[in-house]
Amino acid sequence: MSVVEGGGGPGVTTPRGFEAAGVAAGLKSTGRADIAVVVNRGPLKVGAAVFTGNRAKANPILWSQQAIEDGVVEAIVLNSGGANCFTGAFGFQTTHHTAEKAAELLGVSSGDVLVCSTGLIGTGDEVFRAKVLDGTERAIAQLSDQGGPAAAEAIMTTDSVAKTSACHRDGWQIGAMAKGAGMLAPGLATMLVVITTDAVLTAQQADAHLRAATRVSFDRLDSDGCMSTNDQVTLMVSGASGVAPDADAFRSALIDVCTDLAVKLQADAEGASHSIDVQVIRADTEDDAVEVGRAVARNNLFKAAIFGNDPNWGRVLAAIGTTSARFDPYAVDVEMNGVRVCSDGGPDRPREEVDLSPAQTHVLIDLKVGEASAIIYTNDLTHDYVHENSAYAS
């Protein structure tokens, strides 16, 4: 597999059969692009999606959950600069009007158009609606098979860089774009992700592959323990390659693309100075490994220690001791950036040997009870994170 790095890759327009565009509709005070459209030109119009686990769902989520039920997706419209969440009946009507506008211009059914929004919760008025509809019309007028980068930039909020990825296999491809830089917690994260492929898949296959991929990638991205109202990951299938790939090969490639994007989201988390991979090995079950890793990833004392370049492994043991996973706390080993600082629940190598100055930090927790493992992706807790989120609505 080859992965397209950075924001310069074509992303969602890498596979055949897709066009995209991104335009500025005035939703952002910066004047940057804020409306993106991705269209599937077929011949297949298959779609699958997974959504936030938050019970408080934004209007676009409520709409898209209904629209995806038949497994058909012709297009997706995304806006940044406003979450359209907790905006009442007016907000849902805005989402409905957006799908209708796109459907009218594309000559498709509005029920086959998904909608995504991201931004501040609780805001939305006639001006917002007018800008979204105008931006949708202008984006559709600019659709191109080279429009992937512009679309990726249009969905950014507090992101510092656009995030795209692509996989090239024999005869078929996967492309993707994502946004997200905060509220990164499982189910999914505060992110919008659009994945495209020109492989031949049924709706049932697309749904199964997508859920398998998100389970081990986006669902294990846990930057700050906060779950968004607008998360959506969509897979669009054009079938334009004419190739029906081996199921295991496609799933493996999709997991690679989703993991690549999850790591890019982790690296761009709001205010973070360290990207921390918490790897748990020799757990009794995979669920235990995830639970232990997540307990560390959500522990503010541990995250603050990493920010201060302090290899305080005691905070790791204290965090995992709160879980219901099966292990003996007094038999656990802990490594930080390759240095085993804890062996059998006691001190090992001197803390001074651990170098936490690099931005990438690896914590290895050996539970010594089984063969299961998992990695949770998180970040440190910084002054900049607090400052940025204290002024988010200002």
- What does the DSSP assignment read for 88-115? HHHHHHHHHHHHHHHHHHHTS-GGGEEE
Q: Is 138 exposed, middle or buried (0-12, 13-18, 19+ CB in 10 A)?
A: middle
Other beta carbons within 10 Å of 94: 26
How far apart are the C-alpha atoms of 247 and 209, rounded to whole Å?
8
Note the helical H segments in the chain: 59-67, 88-106, 126-141, 148-154, 203-215, 247-267, 286-297, 300-307, 314-320, 383-390
Task: State the DSSP H helix or E strand holding residue 261, giving kind and residue range, or none if neither.
Answer: helix 247-267
Among candidate residues 52, 95, 190, 361, the one labeled active-site is 190
Q: What DSSP character marks residue 127?
A: H
132's tokens: 């979204």
Is 164 tagged catalytic? no
Backbone phi, then psi, for 193, in 5-degree steps?
-135, 130
Other beta carbons within 10 Å of 1: 13
Other beta carbons within 10 Å of 66: 11
Task: State the DSSP H helix or E strand holding residue 163, giving kind and residue range, or none if neither.
Answer: strand 163-169
| Count of residues in the chain | 394
Task: State the DSSP H helix or E strand holding residue 296, giving kind and residue range, or none if neither.
Answer: helix 286-297
Query: Known catalytic residues?
Result: 190
